[in-house]
Amino acid sequence: MGAENSYSPIEKHCLALIFAVKKLRHYMLEHKIYLVSKVDPLKFLMTRPVLTGRLAKWTVILLEFDITYTPQKAVKGQALADFLAAHPVPDGSPLVCDLPDEEVLLVEDEQPYWGMYFDGASSIQPAYSPNIPQVRAGVGLIFVTPEKGILRYSLALSEPRTNNEDEYEALIAGLEIAIFMNIQRLHIYGDSQLIINQVTGEYKVHKPELTKYQKRAQELIKEIPNVTLERVSRAANGKADALARLAKELADPNLDEVHVTIKNRKILSPTNLDLEEESKEIQKANALKIEVEDDWREPFLNYFKHNELPEEKPKQVQLKKRAMRYAFVNDTLYRRSYDQLWLRCISPEEIKQVMHEVHSGVCGAHQSGPKMRLKIKHLGYYWPTMVQDCMEYARKCHQCQVHSDFIHQHPNPLHPTIASWPFDIWGTDVIGPINPPSSRGHKFILAATDYFSRWAEAIPLREAKADNVMRFFRENILNRFGVPRRIISDNGSAFKSFKVSRFASHHKIDWRYSSIYNPRANGLAEAFNKTLVKLLRKIIGKNKREWHDKISDALWAYRTTFKTPTQATPYSLVFGMEAILPLEVELPSLRMAVQHEMTNEENIFLRLDELDSLDEVRLAAQQNLELYQSQMSRAYNKLARVRTFQAGDLVLVHRRPIIINKHAGGKFDPN
């Protein structure tokens, strides 16, 4: 038609292919297409370095189809195609499907057969206890691919089985695996004549327990288009039998999988002994030999230069599909990017040179890995692992390490401390020294907080000594609320003394210390310290030296305040009822009015009911506390950047100077 008559012969072949693709698109998308022609139009389109106009359009259209070129093998079929090309039919003419007395040769790719060998093994052996028998059973499967590859499966059975049931289990397991791998043609081999003939219908099943196995096997066979069953000798089925016995002997009910590795070992011969000295000399000579990296371009170069393909068929298909985006021009391999830029493919030695120049060369800006990769792409270079290599190179750059910003993200996820009941775990800390001291000479405040109820105790101290700590815990904690299971504190000298350690061991208290660089490990005590200091600032008034008298008022206000984590007040979780505040006495609330009208016996029964429901209130508070901690953990972990180290890892250590002078910390010094 018009301008199409002036196309070159190869372009006319491409046009014919595009015409067929458009007309038969729905059919060709579902199948693998074999193109029979004198020339290969696919290679013509995919190997041109620059595609413009109609050639680029044709290339984009063909990319969505799986088309494989097949050289011309039959003259009759090609003659028919040449005749149709020389005598085109008008678009308005009717379509004639009958071709009398004509035989058109078609290219058929018949899928080869797979092979499957199956066998089962079982035995009943006494366990360590003579009264408990231990049943061991297993099945073995071997699949032989059309390319003569071997796939081995060894499966252990968890329930007792007879020998015939084991054979059926092996056959059913093999059929399920074959269906999962979408195998269309399968030869099945087994050494059990009974099982083979029962499945094929030649033998009748007399045992009821085998009927369900027969029906299941026949149902699975119907899902595979072409299946044949054949009985073989035990010797021919020896490998499958070995796998079944292996699963039977190594079956462990406590493990899901057992990995077995089989390696070849050479037998030491006299020749090896004679050559021992010579091998040592060769090893010494090779010690200085530089290992040469594999060139990733080699498969493509072999394909374009010599039309060589890998031996494995899947790799052949993969290489052909990937090669459609490559071109070999002037002994140089290029790859076409998605924005239609041709990038030069470089060798491993050139990769190191390019990364060095782009990152830290004359024009290098010590950029991060992604930006470094983008700059290399703009320069016109390519290799498959650009992103990973660039990020690894930037991460190992010494100048980038010592001059980069500090990482202020949390190095580990949050692990909240969970208390199961009131006064089980206490967190303690010392506030101070406080300036100004109190009028009685107090400079410190020793505080302790219950992790469950949030109940707090605090006293003023003149000195933070171990004797004061022991007196505080004996009078304010042990004598009031009992011996706790655990106490958490920092590494202060008042807590980490021999007296405190002996006090804790005497009362069987698990005293734990938070890390020096991680005060968040005792976060509840730190949070209460901040709250207590804020309350004292607001209630001490003008005389700042009377703060020791206001500690009890601050504690009372804290204990009767509603806490978000537990959805209750510390007072109610300890005593089972809300505290009566002075305001309720001055202006009686509904609770006070009802209580005044009740008799003494009614008040007693009401109090007993409140104590009976205290456990329920505490359980609800525990659920609220766990929910609150999970919400805090999720919010904390979103900002965390987990960093783990193992023995042998190289780390960059930042050591600050002990004495900082005016010469330390210059503008261009490392961070």
Do 202 and 60 share a domain, yes or no? Answer: no
Cis peptide before 160 (omega within 30 of 0): no
Which CATH number belongs to the domain containing residue 144 in this structure? 3.30.420.10
* pLDDT at site 615: 82
Residue 539 resides in a domain: yes
Do 135 and 240 share a domain, yes or no? Answer: yes
- Give the side-chain half-sphere CA count within 13 A for 227: 23
Using 50, 70 and 90 to split pLDDT, how confident is the model at 667?
low
Do 376 and 504 share a domain, yes or no? Answer: no
Residue 329 resides in a domain: no
Using 50, 70 and 90 to split pLDDT, how confident is the model at 74?
low
Residue 287 resides in a domain: no
Report the range out of 35-39, 193-197, 466-470, 609-613 with the highest average pLDDT: 466-470
* Distance (Å, whole) CA 577 – CA 614: 8
* pLDDT at site 42: 65
Least confidently predicted of 375-379, 388-392, 603-607, 647-651: 603-607
> pLDDT digits over 17-30, tens only?
888 888 888 888 88
Residue 100 resides in a domain: no
Residue 665 resides in a domain: yes
Segment 242-263 mean pLDDT? 66
Residue 263 resides in a domain: no
Do 555 and 425 share a domain, yes or no? Answer: yes
Q: Are 25 and 62 in contact (CB under 8 A)?
A: no
> pLDDT digits over 316-372, tens only?
888 888 888 899 888 899 998 888 888 999 999 999 999 998 888 877 788 888 888
pLDDT at 658 over 60: no
Direct distance between the N- and C-terminal alpha carbons of the chain, in angstroms, rounded to an integer: 73
Q: Which domain holds residue 350?
A: 346-398
* pLDDT at site 331: 86
Q: Are 15 and 4 in contact (CB under 8 A)?
A: yes
* pLDDT at site 470: 93
pLDDT at 129 over 50: no
**Domain stops at, among 207, 225, 250:** 250
Do 444 and 569 share a domain, yes or no? Answer: yes
Q: Are 377 and 335 in contact (CB under 8 A)?
A: no
Do 220 and 118 share a domain, yes or no? Answer: yes
* pLDDT at site 436: 86
Do 504 and 653 share a domain, yes or no? Answer: yes
Do 589 and 555 share a domain, yes or no? Answer: no
**Domain stops at, among 215, 250, 285:** 250
Do 212 and 202 share a domain, yes or no? Answer: yes
Q: Which comes out higher in pLDDT, residue 442 or 363?
A: 442
pLDDT at 482 over 70: yes
Using 50, 70 and 90 to split pLDDT, how confident is the model at 444?
very high
Residue 302 resides in a domain: no
Q: What is the mean pLDDT of the chain?
A: 79
Do 123 and 243 share a domain, yes or no? Answer: yes
Q: In the chain, pLDDT over 90 holds for what percent of residues?
A: 13
pLDDT at 262 over 80: no
Q: Which comes out higher in pLDDT, residue 121 or 228?
A: 228
Number of domains the chain contains? 5
Task: Output the pTM of the full model.
Answer: 0.43
pLDDT at 157 over 50: yes
* pLDDT at site 107: 47
Residue 284 resides in a domain: no
* Distance (Å, whole) CA 253 – CA 325: 52
**Domain stops at, among 250, 277, 305:** 250
Do 130 and 45 share a domain, yes or no? Answer: no
* pLDDT at site 447: 93
Do 549 and 634 share a domain, yes or no? Answer: no
* Distance (Å, whole) CA 613 – CA 378: 73
Q: Give the distance from CA 4 to its chain's centroid.
A: 56
pLDDT at 633 over 70: yes
Sheet with strand 326-329: strands edge to edge: 326-329, 332-336, 342-345, 381-382
